[in-house]
């Protein structure tokens, strides 16, 4: 089970972690609750999003020290900037905090008040950089066209596997959460794909439950959803979102996997960090 520890645009909620130390402790709580992967965004001292490698380095090292067995995934998002040099800075982390995976969005899209631009050239550049560094892409798909484009990149040898897809449903301007959209995207994925559903905003729990019912995996977290209950707007925390998803998964007869089990499911190489004891969902 991946958990995304970023926040919606502003830190209006005191439960949102922003410093490396806060985020590392939140990762520990999420790991204890059942998460096996963590998708990291970095923020400067003013709490604004940053691309700077030294901030990502501090963040990734703090997480690896606090939770040595967690699967570390970094962002290469183009929502705030679109220069390759900035978007690829997070890929250069070395040492214990070296990321095993990194997000790679497979197309451009509109959010309610902004756009995320991902040109074919940018996608190929980031994919190539990840491949050269031995980092596995977390392939982010917001509609069936992005899944189709993944197959094109696989045919060209730009994506070489393992193929892990994070399918995000419910964002205004892209695919809604529906059985028809889920079926269309899943049908377009390569046969060897491992996939997870994430739901945007009020649709997070619905998308997660749909994935669990279909035998897939899930992503939860404050980047996608700031509220635990959208009716009363009660704020969420990352650990509470993980706990709810684990509770639903167990009701459906599925146990959260450990990070090492998640690596086997995805096809990642084993990683042993100092202090590690050698969630996706079974």
As a whole-number percent, the residues of the chain with pLDDT over 90 amount to: 82
**146-160, 164-178, 261-275 — which is least confidently predicted?**
261-275
pLDDT bin (cut points 50, 70, 90) of residue 277 is: very low
pLDDT at 140 over 80: yes
Structural tokens at position 195: 């996939």
pLDDT at 224 over 70: yes
CB 146 within 8 A of CB 166: no
Name the one residue in this structure whose structure tokens are 């939770």: 67
pLDDT bin (cut points 50, 70, 90) of residue 275 is: low
pTM, two decimal places: 0.91
Strand partners of residue 2: 37
Closest CA to 162 of 67, 86, 267: 267
Mean pLDDT of 189-210: 97
pLDDT at 13: 62
pLDDT at 165: 98
pLDDT at 178 over 90: yes
Q: Which of 38-47, 139-148, 228-237 has the highest mean pLDDT?
A: 139-148
Mean pLDDT of the chain: 92
Counted residue by residue, the chain has a size of 282
pLDDT at 9: 44
Mean pLDDT of 107-114: 89
Name the one residue in this structure whose structure tokens are 């959803």: 225
Q: How many CA atoms lie within 13 A of 229 on its CB side?
A: 3
Contacts of 211 (CB under 8 A, 6+ apart): 195, 196, 197, 217, 218
pLDDT tens-digit profile of 49-106? 899 999 999 999 999 999 999 999 999 987 888 899 999 999 999 999 999 999 999 9
Q: Which superfamily is assigned to 2-266 in CATH?
A: Aldolase class I (3.20.20.70)
Mean pLDDT of 241-258: 97
**Calpha distance 138→147 (Å, rounded):** 13
pLDDT tens-digit profile of 2-47? 666 554 444 456 678 999 999 999 999 999 999 999 999 999 988 8
Domain ranges of the chain: 2-266
pLDDT at 114 over 90: no
pLDDT at 46: 85
């Amino acid at each position: 089970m991946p958990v995304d520890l970023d926040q919606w645009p502003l830190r209006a909620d005191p439960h949102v972690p922003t410093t490396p130390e806060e985020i590392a402790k939140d990762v520990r709580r999420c790991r204890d609750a059942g998460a096996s992967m963590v998708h990291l965004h970095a923020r400067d001292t003013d709490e604004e999003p940053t691309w700077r490698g030294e901030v990502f380095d501090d963040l990734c090292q703090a997480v690896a020290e606090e939770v040595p067995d967690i699967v570390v995934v970094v962002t290469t998002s183009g929502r705030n900037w679109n220069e390759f040099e900035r978007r690829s800075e997070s890929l250069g982390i070395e040492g214990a905090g070296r990321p095993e995976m990194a997000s790679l969005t497979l197309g451009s899209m509109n959010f309610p008040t902004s756009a995320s631009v991902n040109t074919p050239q940018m996608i190929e550049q980031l994919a190539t950089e990840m491949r050269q560094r031995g980092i596995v892409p977390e392939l982010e798909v917001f509609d069936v066209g992005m899944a189709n484009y993944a197959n094109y990149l696989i045919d060209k040898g730009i994506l070489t596997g393992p193929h892990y897809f994070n399918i995000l449903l419910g964002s205004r301007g892209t695919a809604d959460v529906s059985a028809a959209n889920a079926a269309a995207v899943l049908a377009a994925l390569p046969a060897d794909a491992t996939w997870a559903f994430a739901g945007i905003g009020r649709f997070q729990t619905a998308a997660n439950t749909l994935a669990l019912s279909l035998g897939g995996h899930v992503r939860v977290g404050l980047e996608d959803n700031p509220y635990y209950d959208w009716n009363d707007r009660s704020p969420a925390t990352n650990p509470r979102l993980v706990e709810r998803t684990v509770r639903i998964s167990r009701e459906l007869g599925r146990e959260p996997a450990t990070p090492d089990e998640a690596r086997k499911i995805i096809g990642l190489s084993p990683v042993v960090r100092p202090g590690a004891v050698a969630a996706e969902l079974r």
